[in-house]
Structure 1
Amino acid sequence: MSELHVDPAASRLTIHTRAVGMLARLAHDLEIAASELRGVARLDGDAWTAELFVPAAGLRVAGVLRGDRVDPDALSAGDRRDIERRIRDEVLQGAAVVEVRASGATRDRADVRVQIGPGSAALTARLAARDRGEGAVGVAGSCQLSLTALGVREVKGPLGAFKVRDEIEILFDLTLRPAAG
């Protein structure tokens, strides 16, 4: 069995949210980036288990999505701070860390459990694993996560004019390296 650790400087995790509702055009679809990640994967042949921890304080609004392109300048600093505060206080319900546990019998599929505070949701993710040299492994993929399944109340705009779609998209490209020793 071997153990690999997430290299936070070479890893990326983003969340895409989409607005829906009568006045959704007035709302913003967002990309939220995790500026901090830590985690470990344990490999046993093709089978594996992994844990990933995403500190809530490290979730930052990267920008507004225009289709699949991110516009980093579309929001004011005050709007960014307000959205980040709402993510921590309302969506994550004050939880300090988002915990992700995953496992698989092969390297192309993961059974995943995401937990924030008392809420948790199960999902499946498709993976693309590749060798990145010097014992490092890259794991990329995406999945859909239901906020309702996590126990998150509906996220709405003023007067309910729009809401965040229940299914958010999680995209990741992680680099795992052998423990320095």
Structure 2
Amino acid sequence: MVDESERQVDEGSVVENLEKNGQEFDQIVDIRVRKKRGFDLTFKLAVVKYAEQHSGEGAARQFHMDLNSIREWKKQKSEMTFQADSDGKCARLSGGGRKKVSEELEAKPCQWIHHMRGWNLRVSRKMIRVKAKEMYAVADDKRDGGAFEASVSWLFRFLRRNNFSLRTKTTVAQRDAPID
């Protein structure tokens, strides 16, 4: 195993050697500590505009990013321009991400939960998962590709998508102490 002090010495010597060869320290840090970053549509369009004026490689160097991302953004320029006019703060184009298992499976459990709550009946997480499995079995618009599990993570995302919050019932509130 490498000791932490030895690792710092190794990184320091690498940085010194690269600085002697004429490379800037900022570029070295960006290369070594590359993290996935998110960008909004206005920034993406600015990078595409810069890439069209100069070059894709020049834009990649200027903004310290991957050339493949810039190429992909160039292909999506018209969609990004259209969506940036309405909302430039978003980072993804509409229609992106994983598709819902079934539109019916989004609407029917919501209706069932509202119905149960309307009758002041308790609705638990397990009840929602069991009911969702039952509803998926008879759904008309199932997505191909396997069985629906109604996992805990699906339930969490379903509740968040539909603005539901399930709280546990607590004991009766304590009474305030009498004021003397």
TM-score (normalizing by structure 2): 0.22
Bigger helix share: 2
Larger radius of gyration: 2
Q: Which has the higher contact order (CA 8 A, sep 6+)?
A: 1
Greater fraction strand:
1
